[in-house]
Structure 1
Amino acid sequence: MLTEEVHASGVADARAGDAAADGTAAEGKVAQHEAAAHEKRNWVRLTYDCNNKCIFCLDMDVHDGENRAAEEVKQQILDGRRKGATRLILSGGEPTIHPRYLDFIKLGRLAGYRRIQTVTNGRLFAYQEFLDRCLEAGLQEITFSLHGPNARIHDALVGVKGAFEQESAGLRRALDDGRPIVNVDIVINRGNVKVLPEMLETFYGWGVREFDLLQVVPFGNAFRDGRDVLFYDLEEAAPYVRQALEFSTRPDVHVWLNRFPPPHLEGFEHLIQDPYKLNDEVRGRKEEFERQLERGEPLDCRDPDRCQYCYLEQLCDVLEDAQHTQHAHAFSRLRLDTRWEASLGPVYGGDPASAKKARERPSDGKARLPVLGGVGATLEHLPLTERAARAGVERFWVIAADVEDARAALEGYDAPALELELDDYAGLAESALPVVKATAKNVAQAEALLAIDAPFEVEVLLTRETGAWLEALDAVPARLALRQPTYERLTEASDHDLDLPAFFARFTARFTGEVPVEGVPACVLGRAPRLPPKTFDAAMTRPDGRLEIFRYAKRYILAHYRSKSLRCRQCVHDATCEGAHINQVRAHGYAMLEPVLPAELTASGT
Structure 2
Amino acid sequence: MEPTSTSGDAQEKIVEHEDAAHQKRNWVRLTYDCNDHCVFCLDAHAHNGTNRDREEIKKQILDGRRKGAERLILSGGEPTIHPNFVDFVRLGRMAGYPKIQTVTNGRMFSYPRFLRASLDAGLDEITFSIHGPNAKVHDALVGSKGAFEQELRGLQQALDDGRPIINIDICVNRGNVKHLPEMLRKFTAMGVREYDLLHVIPFGNAYKQGKETLFYNLEEMRPYLLEAFAWSKQPDMHIWLNRFPPQHLEGYEHMIQDPYKLNDEVRGRKEEYAFLLEEGVPLDCRAPHRCQFCYMEPLCDTLEEVRETVASRRFEVVRYDTEFEAAMPKIYGGDPASKKRSRSRMTALTRANESMSQVEQEAAASGIESRLRLPVLSQPGATGNLGGFPTRPVYVPLPELVRAAGAETLWIVAPNLERAASAVSLLPSVTRVELELADYAGLAEALDDGRVLGKRLARVVVRTAEDAAAMLALPGDFEVTVLLSRATEGWLRGLERVPARLALRQPTHERLTESAEQDIELREFFAAFEQLPGPRAPVDDVPACVIGRPARLRPRFLDASMLTDEGQLEIFRYAKRYILDRYWSKSLRCKTCVYNESCRGMHINYIRARGYGLMEPVEPEAAQAS
* TM-score exceeds 0.5: yes
Offset at residue 295 of structure 1 (A): 2.0
Secondary structure in 2 matching 1:595: coil
Counterpart Cα distance in 1 of 2:293 and 2:548: 33
1:370 equivalent among 348, 363, 375: 375
Counterpart Cα distance in 2 of 1:140 and 1:427: 53
Task: Give the structure 1 partner of residue 512 of structure 2.
Answer: 490
Instruction: Indicate if the aligned counterparts of 1:294 and 1:379 stay in contact, CA closer than 8 A.
Output: yes
Which structure 2 residues correspond to residues 43-442 of structure 1 after superposition, within 5 A?
Answer: 43-361=27-345, 362=347, 363-364=349-350, 365=353, 367=368, 370=375, 372-373=377-378, 374-376=387-389, 377-411=391-425, 412-431=427-446, 432-433=451-452, 434-442=456-464
Instruction: Indicate if the aligned counterparts of 2:26 and 2:71 stay in contact, CA closer than 8 A.
Output: yes
1:527 equivalent among 549, 552, 561: 549
1:572 equivalent among 575, 591, 594: 594
Counterpart Cα distance in 2 of 1:401 and 1:125: 53
Offset at residue 511 of structure 1 (A): 3.5
Counterpart Cα distance in 2 of 1:142 and 1:95: 12
CA gap of 1:241–1:250, structure 2 versus 1, over 3 A, is: same
Structure 1 counterpart of 2:377, which letter? L
Q: Which moved more, 1:37-46 or 1:429-438?
A: 429-438
Counterpart Cα distance in 2 of 1:317 and 1:506: 37
Counterpart Cα distance in 2 of 1:401 and 1:497: 22
Cα distance per residue 1:204-239 (max 9 Å; x no partner): 111100000000000000011001110000100000
Counterpart Cα distance in 2 of 1:445 and 1:494: 23
Structure 1 counterpart of 2:428, which letter? Y
Task: Give the structure 1 partner of residue 10 of structure 2.
Answer: 26
Counterpart Cα distance in 2 of 1:503 and 1:296: 47
TM-score (norm 2): 0.91
Counterpart Cα distance in 2 of 1:601 and 1:592: 17
Offset at residue 476 of structure 1 (A): 1.4
Which structure 2 residues correspond to residues 501-520 of structure 1 after superposition, within 5 A?
Answer: 501-520=523-542
Offset at residue 598 of structure 1 (A): 3.6
Q: Which moved more, 1:61-70 or 1:424-433?
A: 424-433
Instruction: Indicate if the aligned counterparts of 1:336 and 1:397 stay in contact, CA closer than 8 A.
Output: yes
Counterpart Cα distance in 2 of 1:26 and 1:89: 27
Q: Which moved more, 1:568-577 or 1:359-368?
A: 359-368
Cα distance per residue 1:23-55 (max 9 Å; x no partner): 710000000000000001111000000000000
Counterpart Cα distance in 1 of 2:623 and 2:304: 36
Alignment pair present for 1:38 and 2:43: no
Counterpart Cα distance in 2 of 1:396 and 1:463: 25
Counterpart Cα distance in 2 of 1:492 and 1:191: 38
Secondary structure in 2 matching 1:370: coil
Structure 2 counterpart of 1:316, which letter? C
Secondary structure in 1 matching 2:443: coil
Offset at residue 408 of structure 1 (A): 1.3
Please list every run of at least 4 consecutive aligned residues from structure 1 whose deviation after the TM superposition is greater than 3 angstroms: 365-369, 510-513, 598-602
1:559 equivalent among 566, 578, 581: 581
Task: Give the structure 1 partner of residue 362 of structure 2.
Answer: none
Q: Percent identity?
A: 57
Offset at residue 599 of structure 1 (A): 4.3
Alignment pair present for 1:457 and 2:479: yes
Instruction: Indicate if the aligned counterparts of 2:412 and 2:420 stay in contact, CA closer than 8 A.
Output: yes
Offset at residue 336 of structure 1 (A): 0.5
Alignment pair present for 1:595 and 2:610: no
Counterpart Cα distance in 2 of 1:400 and 1:180: 45
Instruction: Indicate if the aligned counterparts of 1:324 and 1:371 stay in contact, CA closer than 8 A.
Output: no
Offset at residue 378 of structure 1 (A): 2.8
Task: Give the structure 2 partner of residue 19 of structure 1.
Answer: none
Cα distance per residue 1:5-35 (max 9 Å; x no partner): xxxxxxxxxxxxxxxxx97100000000000
Offset at residue 101 of structure 1 (A): 0.4
Offset at residue 413 of structure 1 (A): 2.5
Task: Give the structure 2 partner of residue 9 of structure 1.
Answer: none
Structure 2 counterpart of 1:390, which letter? A
Instruction: Indicate if the aligned counterparts of 1:388 and 1:413 stay in contact, CA closer than 8 A.
Output: no
Structure 1 counterpart of 2:276, which letter? Q
Secondary structure in 1 matching 2:213: helix
Task: Give the structure 2 partner of residue 476 of structure 1.
Answer: 498
Cα distance per residue 1:400-452 (max 9 Å; x no partner): 12222112112242121111101222222343321110011111111111111
Instruction: Indicate if the aligned counterparts of 2:500 and 2:535 stay in contact, CA closer than 8 A.
Output: no
Cα distance per residue 1:479-538 (max 9 Å; x no partner): 000000001100010011010001001111234531100000111111100012100100
Counterpart Cα distance in 2 of 1:82 and 1:485: 34
Structure 1 portions without partners, runs of 5+: 1-21
Q: Which moved more, 1:127-136 or 1:503-512?
A: 503-512
Counterpart Cα distance in 2 of 1:370 and 1:243: 42
Structure 2 counterpart of 1:514, which letter? R
Secondary structure in 1 matching 2:74: strand
Offset at residue 600 of structure 1 (A): 11
Counterpart Cα distance in 2 of 1:214 and 1:401: 41
Structure 2 counterpart of 1:415, which letter? V
Q: Which moved more, 1:398-407 or 1:251-260?
A: 398-407
Counterpart Cα distance in 1 of 2:281 and 2:339: 15
Counterpart Cα distance in 2 of 1:69 and 1:30: 39
Structure 2 counterpart of 1:421, which letter? E
Cα distance per residue 1:431-480 (max 9 Å; x no partner): 33211100111111111111111110000000012111101012211100
Structure 2 counterpart of 1:314, which letter? P
Structure 2 counterpart of 1:419, which letter? E
TM-score (norm 1): 0.94
Secondary structure in 2 matching 1:404: helix
CA gap of 1:428–1:601, structure 2 versus 1, over 3 A, is: closer
Q: Which moved more, 1:270-279 or 1:386-395?
A: 386-395
Instruction: Indicate if the aligned counterparts of 1:462 and 1:482 stay in contact, CA closer than 8 A.
Output: yes
Offset at residue 394 of structure 1 (A): 2.0
Q: CA RMSD in A?
A: 1.5
CA gap of 1:481–1:544, structure 2 versus 1, over 3 A, is: same
Structure 2 portions without partners, runs of 5+: 1-5, 354-364, 379-386
Secondary structure in 2 matching 1:524: helix
Offset at residue 371 of structure 1 (A): 5.5
Instruction: Indicate if the aligned counterparts of 2:541 and 2:551 stay in contact, CA closer than 8 A.
Output: yes
Instruction: Indicate if the aligned counterparts of 2:499 and 2:534 stay in contact, CA closer than 8 A.
Output: no
